[in-house]
């Protein structure tokens, strides 16, 4: 009989930021933690988002004992509708996280299919052979949890996203006692968030934002427009508090913001007076100095409300001089350009713009280096597995672990798909499982593969030139001059002389070619165009015989 | 007679980072300061670089009294070959800057055409009605200058890029005395660098890098590979010093690095012992712990040496475990993704990687807020014109100016093409001049316009589908089934059913269309594809009649 070991299979979030998903396997049973999405970078044109590849799980769906969601951010819940379609296992989440899952699942018509279970921080749930203890963690959304996972092979601590905020907005600090308790029982492995492993010191408390907002509200002369994530529930509370203090009414713009506000309020996660809230129409009819509007778009997404305000294309109102716009957010890596373009455009429309670089209107929700060290000292694990982050973040987390005295051979930096085997006395890499990037683009077809993505990238470089040849099917000779169609290459005006010459050369080539005519023509055109323009458009040759 | 006023026409670098170019006009005479390029952002696929639009100058070339280049970085000299082709005016630069101009002009075969003049910091040159005093400034390249421009309308101070480094690597601090002297004479306007206006405090001295390098060299067990800009001459000196101290030989990889090293050494800007330098082949044959290699690619450019090392495609050597790679640079806005991808890949190949976020291996060459304030106090200008930066940087610089007591109406934030008129007692916007983005893409055709760029962006979104219809020119009916060619949309396998239906619908439509058949077919296909896939590829219809 083979040794019963614990295997950990990372399907997302290792070697990248986002689409977090971790699978624990003991014997024949599987436990899934999180089901997130990742936003595309510039090498993925046209992609809406990226989800984990669950191919590895598809022949094991009846052995998946449960799915646990640690908190309600998109990089932890965003793939849930895709997962629910394939995996019928029960889902466990705290009330707010469950509320956000319900809003999302309802939109894709899958709410009835999902087996949702509410758990509270502090509770323990038996999920197959895994005894899962939920402990509260602070993060930039309320009701986040980390997990103590007692397995026959040992106790695992899985932090999810966390920080050690001593003065969180909801007055509910991370559960230090439980972490210390775990260390008493002996922790085999710690899987901990690496997002901020490059940041020295401590992440400031969410309360810092209160002071910044007080400053903003006390100085703004006109409307205040504050952009944030729709899921940043604690920011809603902070803005509402400032609004009450400075006698402004609060309105929300955008469906996701309104939906989440209503849900969080219903569940008791927001303590906001009825009198304070108005709808957007009412807000726009109040005097400017009595209004604050919260909206989405803090990542500079062109189609978001803030994005459209910055280009003057939002249907309901326009930015006007005197407006104060606050971006209460940190640019997600890869979004910097969009964010700064949006800020520049808002300045261009006369708004005063405040953002993280020049005012503390946002703080991170992730632990910095000193917190990561405190965590290690609290938990005292035998093995350390850095999770959540690009390779550079995981490596830096590993360096910190070594500085804390964990032997190098007890720290394992893995990437998506590299399964990890935990023995009592050693940790090692196991087999690889498939982990493609599953691109979601539109809804009809589902996913886009790498070939398509590569085609798009090449098209974007220098456009394309398509040569259409129509031959007489009997004589084999051209029925008409080669037709040229081109996009994204050069302007028709500039092109006419070059294209005339292409037509001439192709006609000549065709009459003489006795090998692969299509390939020959492609090569000829490609070479000639490069020679003339130093550009390399895609060249396609289409042949019809009539 | 109209009042003789000084006009300032910004052709680059205002409202953007890079391609700096400023034109001063007094009466009939023009003075050009800098001729830089800008690197493309992700909305400019396939573009090599962007240069200023000099349309406005083209009918005035004989009235341009001179071109002054403040220092040798690409964002100040990179467009020089394009400018020299159009403008025959004399060019003034300090020796190192001239050396870098010569290297660049020689490559494009324009060296003989350029009228280069050497000036030394401290000298004054009469250029038309402009009396230009060159004063030394510290920056991340030696031999940088700022300008005191005495015009009949008043004295202008133009900083170029600068910082107040008290301990620069070349021991030559910024010329405070000259700045104070200007203030004694009365400064009409200060045009000052805004790049770091969001950064509080002081920019650290270049010397900080010495300590970081000492740390790196004392700990590295294998080869050290240090990536930087080819123009960062002072970094070459610092690396050479560390190499000498730790008994390593220094080699340079890449033509631009080697060329600049030779030139700077010949001109006396580098003090490096002959014994210390080896060529790359020699370096690769020495024991690993006796080698340091400097190369380009600190911005993660995929075709650079570091970029190719990260993907294992550099011809001359490979990264190996034990290598220490240092990125001695700050990611240019828009390059973050490339830089971090490169870092992650280098980690993936087993190198230890050090970069700005985790070690002080680079410091900025631009003044931070406290230096910007010191400058204003030293110069005491009547008017402040923030230059060099995106709109957010210029606005933040303006805020600082106001905090220092400069009246709001004496500070003018302009963007490219908005000319500025300086009267004795007021500053105002004048007429607008054209300022397109001149995209340089390949060499044959020269520039790419916005329509082409837009076409490329659309192609990159969801690819394209091209429907070819061949009609009998007599009967007007289709000679063959519609042909479909597609790229970047969906895989052929997935597409076959959808495309079959498209062929069927198009055939039916064509037989019935009595309006604009081509438009009708396009519309039909676009709608059907969206309905089926929720994607919107470009749809083109091509018609042949045989």
Q: What is the mean pLDDT of residues A25-46?
A: 88
Q: Tell me the pLDDT tens digit for each residue of A128-141.
A: 999 999 999 999 99
Q: Tell me the pLDDT tens digit for each residue of A169-226.
A: 889 999 999 999 999 999 999 999 999 999 999 999 999 999 999 999 999 999 999 9
Q: Report CB contact under 8 Å: B45, A460.
A: yes
Q: Report which of A445, A435, A365, A333 is spatially closest to residue A137, judged by C-alpha positions.
A: A365
Q: Report which of A366, A349, A360, A302 is spatially closest to residue A327, judged by C-alpha positions.
A: A360
The full length of chain B comes to 546
In chain A, count of helices (H) and strands (E)? 15, 25
Q: Report which of A155, A157, A159 is spatially closest to residue A185, judged by C-alpha positions.
A: A155
Q: Which two tokens stand for residue B6?
A: 């000084």
- Substitution target in B391, B486, B501 with the highest count of A β-carbons within 10 Å is B391
Q: Which two tokens stand for residue B278?
A: 């080896």
Chain B partners within 8 Å of A436 (Cβ): none
Provide long-range contacts, Cβ within 8 A and 24+ apart, for A430-434.
A430/A7, A433/A9, A433/A11, A433/A55, A433/A56, A434/A53, A434/A55, A434/A56
CATH of domain A6-201+364-433: 3.60.15.10
- Closest CB to A491 among B449, B490, B533: B449
Q: Report which of B223, B206, B231 is spatially closest to residue B284, judged by C-alpha positions.
A: B223
Q: Report which of B396, B357, B352, B354 is spatially closest to residue B373, judged by C-alpha positions.
A: B396
CATH topology match: B6-201+364-440 vs B207-355: no
3-class secondary-structure state, position B528: helix
User: What integer pLDDT is reported at residue B296 of this predicted model?
Assistant: 93
* CA angle, residues B470, B475, B476, in degrees to nearest 5: 45
CA distance B488 to chain A (A): 5
For A441, nearest residue in chain B (alpha carbons)? B535
Chain B partners within 8 Å of A395 (Cβ): 347, 353
Confidence of residue A48 (pLDDT cuts 50, 70, 90): confident
pTM for this predicted structure: 0.84
CA distance B127 to chain A (A): 35
- Closest CB to B445 among A41, A459, A533: A533
Chain A partners within 8 Å of B459 (Cβ): 456, 459-460, 463-464, 487-488
Side-chain-facing half-sphere of A321: CA atoms under 13 Å: 2
- Closest CB to B357 among A41, A198, A353: A198
- Closest CB to B344 among A43, A392, A489: A392
- Substitution target in A197, A342, A444, A543 with the highest count of B β-carbons within 10 Å is A444
3-class secondary-structure state, position B162: coil
CA distance A200 to chain B (A): 9
- Substitution target in B487, B493, B537 with the highest count of A β-carbons within 10 Å is B487
Kindly tell me if the per-residue pLDDT of A444 is higher than 60.
no
Is 3.10.20.340 the CATH classification of the domain at B6-201+364-440? no
Q: For residues A377 and A389, what is the distance between their CA atoms, to the nearest angstrom?
A: 21
- Closest CB to A347 among B41, B392, B544: B392
Chain A partners within 8 Å of B451 (Cβ): 491
The DSSP line for B93-123 is: E-HHHHHHHHHHHHHTT-GGG--EEE--TT-
- Closest CB to A463 among B353, B456, B470: B456
- Closest CB to A490 among B452, B487, B488: B452
Q: Report CB contact under 8 Å: A445, B347.
A: no
Chain B partners within 8 Å of A372 (Cβ): none
Chain A partners within 8 Å of B358 (Cβ): 198, 396
Chain A partners within 8 Å of B334 (Cβ): 336-337
Q: For residues A429 and A9, what is the distance between their CA atoms, to the nearest angstrom?
A: 10
User: Are the CB atoms for B292 and B223 separated by under 8 Å?
Assistant: yes
Q: For residues A2 and A421, what is the distance between their CA atoms, to the nearest angstrom?
A: 13
CA distance A529 to chain B (A): 9
User: What integer pLDDT is reported at residue A442 of this predicted model?
Assistant: 65
Q: Tell me the pLDDT tens digit for each residue of A318-349.
A: 999 999 999 999 888 778 888 999 999 999 99
Neighbour tally for B30: CB within 10 Å: 26
Q: Tell me the pLDDT tens digit for each residue of A376-432.
A: 999 999 999 999 999 999 999 999 999 999 999 999 999 999 999 999 999 999 999
Q: Report which of A505, A466, A429, A481 is spatially closest to residue B464, judged by C-alpha positions.
A: A466
User: Are the CB atoms for A527 and A521 separated by under 8 Å?
Assistant: no
Kindly tell me if the per-residue pLDDT of A446 is higher than 70.
no
Residues 6 or more apart whose CB falls under 8 angstroms from that of B219 comprise B324
- Closest CB to B459 among A358, A448, A487: A487
Chain B partners within 8 Å of A546 (Cβ): 470, 479-480, 546
- Helices A95-107 and A255-266: crossing angle, nearest 10°? 140
Q: Report CB contact under 8 Å: A391, B348.
A: yes
Q: Which two tokens stand for residue B240?
A: 């050479």
Chain A partners within 8 Å of B42 (Cβ): 42, 337
Q: From start to end of B265-338, where are the E strands?
A: 291-295, 324-327
Q: Which two tokens stand for residue B248?
A: 């390593």
- Substitution target in B455, B465, B502 with the highest count of A β-carbons within 10 Å is B455
User: What integer pLDDT is reported at residue A3 of this predicted model?
Assistant: 60
User: Are the CB atoms for A440 and A78 separated by under 8 Å?
Assistant: no
Confidence of residue A94 (pLDDT cuts 50, 70, 90): very high
Could you list the pLDDT tens digit for every one of the 546 residues in chain B?
A: 456 799 999 999 999 888 999 999 999 999 999 999 998 777 777 778 889 999 999 999 999 999 999 999 999 999 999 999 999 999 999 999 999 999 899 988 999 999 999 999 999 999 999 999 999 999 999 999 999 999 999 999 999 999 999 999 889 999 999 999 999 999 999 999 999 999 999 999 999 999 999 999 999 999 999 999 888 888 999 999 999 999 999 999 998 899 999 999 999 999 999 999 999 999 999 999 999 999 999 988 888 999 999 999 999 999 999 999 999 998 887 788 889 999 999 999 999 999 999 999 999 999 999 999 999 999 999 999 999 999 999 999 999 999 999 999 999 999 999 999 999 999 999 999 988 888 887 653 345 566 777 788 788 888 899 998 888 888 888 888 898 988 888 776 677 888 999 999 999 888 877 778 888 899 999 999 888 887 888 898 888 888
Kindly tell me if the per-residue pLDDT of A165 is higher than 70.
yes
Superfamily the domain B207-355 falls into: Metallo-hydrolase/oxidoreductase (3.40.50.10710)
- Closest CB to B460 among A333, A395, A456: A456
- Substitution target in A18, A396, A445, A543 with the highest count of B β-carbons within 10 Å is A445
CA distance B44 to chain A (A): 9
Place of tokens 């294209």: A499
For B455, nearest residue in chain A (alpha carbons)? A488
User: What integer pLDDT is reported at residue A197 of this predicted model?
Assistant: 97
Reported ipTM: 0.82
Q: What is the mean pLDDT of residues A481-493?
A: 82
Name the range with the highest mean pLDDT among A115-129, A248-262, B4-18: A115-129
CA distance B306 to chain A (A): 16
Chain B partners within 8 Å of A452 (Cβ): 463, 488-491
Domain assignments of chain A as residue spans, ordered by start: 6-201+364-433, 207-355, 448-545
For A542, nearest residue in chain B (alpha carbons)? B485
Q: Tell me the pLDDT tens digit for each residue of A489-498.
A: 877 667 788 8
Chain B partners within 8 Å of A42 (Cβ): 42, 337
Q: Report CB contact under 8 Å: B488, A461.
A: no
Q: Report which of B164, B141, B136 is spatially closest to residue B74, judged by C-alpha positions.
A: B141
Neighbour tally for B260: CB within 10 Å: 26
Chain A partners within 8 Å of B485 (Cβ): 466, 540, 542
Q: Report CB contact under 8 Å: B461, A456.
A: yes
Which fold does the domain A448-545 belong to in CATH? Ubiquitin-like (UB roll) (3.10.20)
* CA angle, residues A380, A385, A391, in degrees to nearest 5: 140
- Substitution target in B200, B333, B392 with the highest count of A β-carbons within 10 Å is B392
- Substitution target in A49, A392, A398, A526 with the highest count of B β-carbons within 10 Å is A392
Please state, rounded to an integer, the average pLDDT across all residues of chain A: 92
Q: What is the mean pLDDT of residues A28-39?
A: 95
3-class secondary-structure state, position B78: coil
CA distance B533 to chain A (A): 4
Place of tokens 């709410």: A111
User: What integer pLDDT is reported at residue A447 of this predicted model?
Assistant: 54
Task: Please tell me the class of the B463-545 domain.
Answer: alpha beta
């Amino acid at each position: 009989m083979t040794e019963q070991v614990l295997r950990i299979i990372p399907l997302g979030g290792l070697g990248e930021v986002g689409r977090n998903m971790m699978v624990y396997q003991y014997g024949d049973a599987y436990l899934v933690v999180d089901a997130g999405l990742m936003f595309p970078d510039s090498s993925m044109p046209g992609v809406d988002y990226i989800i984990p590849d669950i191919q590895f799980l598809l022949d094991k769906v009846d052995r998946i004992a449960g799915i646990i969601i640690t908190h309600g951010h998109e990089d932890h819940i965003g793939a849930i509708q895709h997962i629910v379609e394939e995996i019928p296992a029960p889902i466990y989440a705290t009330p707010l996280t469950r509320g956000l899952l319900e809003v999302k699942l309802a939109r894709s018509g899958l709410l009835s299919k999902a087996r949702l279970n509410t758990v509270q921080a502090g509770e323990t749930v038996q999920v197959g052979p895994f005894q899962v203890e939920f402990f509260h963690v602070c993060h930039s959304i309320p009701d986040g949890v980390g997990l103590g996972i007692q397995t026959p092979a040992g106790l695992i601590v899985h932090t999810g996203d966390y920080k050690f905020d001593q003065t969180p907005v909801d007055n509910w600090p991370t559960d230090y006692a439980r972490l210390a308790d775990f260390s008493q029982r002996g922790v085999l492995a710690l899987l901990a968030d690496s997002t901020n492993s490059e940041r020295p010191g401590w992440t400031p408390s969410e309360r810092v934002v209160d002071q910044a907002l007080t400053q903003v509200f006390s100085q703004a002369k006109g409307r205040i427009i504050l952009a944030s994530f729709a899921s940043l529930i604690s920011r809603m509370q902070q803005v509402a508090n400032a609004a009450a203090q400075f006698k402004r009414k609060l309105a929300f713009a955008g469906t996701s913001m309104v939906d989440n506000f209503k849900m969080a309020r219903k569940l008791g996660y927001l303590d906001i007076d009825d009198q304070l809230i108005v709808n957007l129409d009412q807000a726009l009819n109040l005097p400017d100095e009595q209004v604050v509007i919260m909206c989405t778009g803090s990542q500079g997404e062109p189609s978001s409300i803030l994005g459209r305000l910055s280009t003057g294309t939002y249907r309901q109102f326009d930015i006007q001089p005197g407006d104060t716009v606050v971006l209460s957010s940190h640019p997600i890596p890869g979004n910097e350009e969009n964010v700064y373009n949006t800020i520049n455009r808002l300045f261009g429309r006369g708004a005063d713009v405040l953002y993280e670089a020049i005012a503390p209107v946002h703080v991170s929700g992730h632990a910095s280096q000193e917190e990561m060290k405190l965590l290690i000292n609290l938990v005292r694990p035998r093995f350390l597995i850095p999770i959540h982050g690009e390779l550079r973040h995981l490596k830096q987390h590993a360096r910190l672990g070594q500085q804390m005295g964990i032997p190098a051979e007890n720290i394992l930096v893995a990437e998506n798909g590299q399964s990890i085997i935990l023995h009592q006395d050693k940790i090692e890499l196991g087999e690889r499982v498939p982990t493609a990037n599953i691109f979601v683009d539109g809804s009809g077809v589902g996913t886009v593969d790498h070939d398509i993505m590569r085609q798009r990238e090449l098209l974007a470089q220098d456009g394309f030139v398509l040569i259409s040849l129509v031959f007489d099917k009997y004589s084999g000779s051209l029925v008409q001059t080669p037709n040229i169609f081109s996009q994204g290459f050069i302007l028709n005006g500039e092109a006419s002389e070059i294209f005339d010459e292409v037509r001439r050369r192709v006609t000549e080539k065709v009459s003489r070619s006795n090998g692969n005519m299509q390939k020959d023509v492609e090569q000829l055109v490609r070479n000639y165009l490069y020679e003339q323009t130093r550009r390399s458009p895609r060249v396609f040759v289409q042949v019809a015989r009539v």
